[in-house]
Amino acid sequence: MKRTPKFAVLCAALVAGTLIIAPSATAAPGAPTGPNEKGPSGDISVLQGYAVDTWASLDAMTEKKTGLPADKLQGDLSEPSDNTSPTNIGGYLWSVISARDLGIISKQDAFHRMKTTLKTLERIERHEPSGMFYNWYSPRDGHKLTTWPGSGDPVDPFLSSVDNGWLAASFRIVAEAEPRLARSADALYASMDFGYFHDLAGGANAVNGAGLNRGGFWVTPPPGCNVPGNYGDDGSELYYTCHHYDTSVSEARIVNYLGIANGQIPAEAYYGTLRTMPDQGCDFAWQEQKPTGETREYLGVPVYEGVYEYRGMKLVPAWGGSMFEALMPDLLVPEADWGPQSWAVNHPASVRAQIEHGLDEAGYGYWGFSPASDPFDEYAEYGVEGVGMSADGYASDRERTNVDAGYEGCREASKPNPEFGDGVVTPHASFLALPYDKPAVLSNLAGIKNDLGAYGPGGFYDAVATQSGTIADRYLSLDQSMIMAAIANELLDDRLKDYFVDDAFEAAVRPLVGAQVFGSRLE
């Protein structure tokens, strides 16, 4: 993977009147050497402090012998779980780079951490010839899980398209950020063929006929629904999920970005996912609301540019209305810069919807809704249901309050103005919004920390219920790594995006993003 550096690391340089101080090679943990001085110095200090504490949780959950992070960790930084996923590992790798560039750890510490992780990934079991990683491994020794730790329940080894997408993304970042590891990272990246996930026929998407990505596949038949086939070129039978990723506002769009850039997925697939379900009589009246929009054509693919209305805005919804679906890919791909008529409008609209739901519509006093550790159980999917496509999508409160405004001409509203209950906010969702409303983010996080008390030795706990004050006093690896990436981008001028994007990627992907025109508007 030939890459053109986007910037040079300098000890001190004056660029457009802004002083940039690079991390010291001998920086000690907890001793930041100064990120880009951007914005009020108090904001920089606050975000840097959050990064230092967040890194403590990622450090505590990582097995030193393998360089693999646990999926989760208790709030006192004890009891890391004995399972990890490709997404967790990818997030850890870019978190190491973020910690290094923010001056939290030294260059040599970061190098040895990443080298250990890559060495483990080179030897653990994968599916050949796709090069894809299984979804669950033990961080202790890297073996593929076939029984679940603790319960002993059977695990059917699965290969997830989106999880492999995030791991592959981290290989691109490592290759650019640490030249000494470029050969290893590039080799791992080059071995992964995302064509194995891509269904050229489009399967379930009968709306525009373009290809879609499956959720993943098993090598042996699992119990339950599966679709035999093989989208690769080795001829062996695989067993695919019965679902495709068919919505545009989804974290799974990282797979299309990578597959298209690599020439493994056709460019047309970028337009194969749906903005909303189309407005076709009552055929799609199950969706959350009746969309409005018009049809445009891109690369021969007809696309219904549907939008939902929410509090005076128009936006393309996610399936469940969560921040994670809307903004996780934006951590690495400069979507708003490349898509002035699409993501540049939709991302701030998604953020505003979250803010207005939390503060005004539901009256929680706080905002930021995304799948997370559950204060009342283990895990739950939280979101703003009114901007989610699924009629029974992700609720924002413990009571799983359903919002139903009906569907004109097809079904009557059953609950257009519900009373919301104990709202659950997830701090990582706020961090994802940093590029679009930093003052609101910092204010919200300060309240979650100081008023709700959802902060511990590893940074923000994963979720907190705003009414009862119940805290999910755990740390999830994925959510902590999103926080690290968001802070590094904010303080270091989108540095992770610079690491991720090379000239070839930009040439393949930017024109596709730039061509699309959403119907989104802020007011």
SS3 71: coil
pLDDT digits (tens, 9 = 90+) for 208-251: 778 999 999 999 999 999 999 999 988 799 999 999 999 999 99
| pLDDT score of 281 | 86
| pLDDT score of 477 | 98
Counting as low any pLDDT under 70, the low residues of the chain are 1-39, 202-207
| pLDDT score of 190 | 98
| pLDDT score of 41 | 75
| pLDDT score of 39 | 58
| pLDDT score of 428 | 98
| pLDDT score of 35 | 52
Structural tokens at position 311:
């509090």
Neighbours of 247 (CB within 10 A): 22
SS3 228: strand
Whole-model pTM: value is 0.93
φ, ψ for residue 177, nearest 5 deg: -80, -25
The H-or-E segment that residue 54 falls in is helix 41-60
pLDDT digits (tens, 9 = 90+) for 357-413: 999 999 999 999 999 999 999 999 999 999 999 988 899 999 999 999 999 899 999
| pLDDT score of 207 | 64
Pairing relation of β-strands 72-74 and 474-476? antiparallel
| pLDDT score of 388 | 95
Neighbours of 14 (CB within 10 A): 9
**How far apart (Å, rounded) are the C-alpha atoms in residues 20 and 22?**
6
Pairing relation of β-strands 463-465 and 244-245? unpaired
- Identity (one letter) of the amino acid at 365? G
| pLDDT score of 33 | 41
**How far apart (Å, rounded) are the C-alpha atoms in residues 519 and 54?**
37
Q: Give 279-313 as a 3 state SS string.
A: CCCCCCCCCCCCCEEEEEEECCEEEEEEEEEECCE
Task: Report whether 240 contacts 230 (CB < 8 A).
Answer: no
CA dihedral 140, 145, 146, 151 (to 10 degrees): 70
Segments making up each domain of the chain, as ranges: 276-522
Is the torsion defined by CA of 377, 381, 385, 391 positive or negative? negative
Strands, E, within 299-423: which ranges?
A: 301-310, 313-315, 372-373, 379-380
| pLDDT score of 280 | 83
The H-or-E segment that residue 52 falls in is helix 41-60
Structural tokens at position 150:
């603790």
Is the torsion defined by CA of 343, 347, 349, 353 positive or negative? positive
Structural tokens at position 114:
């990443």
- How much of the chain is helix, strand and coil, in % rounded to 5? 35, 20, 45
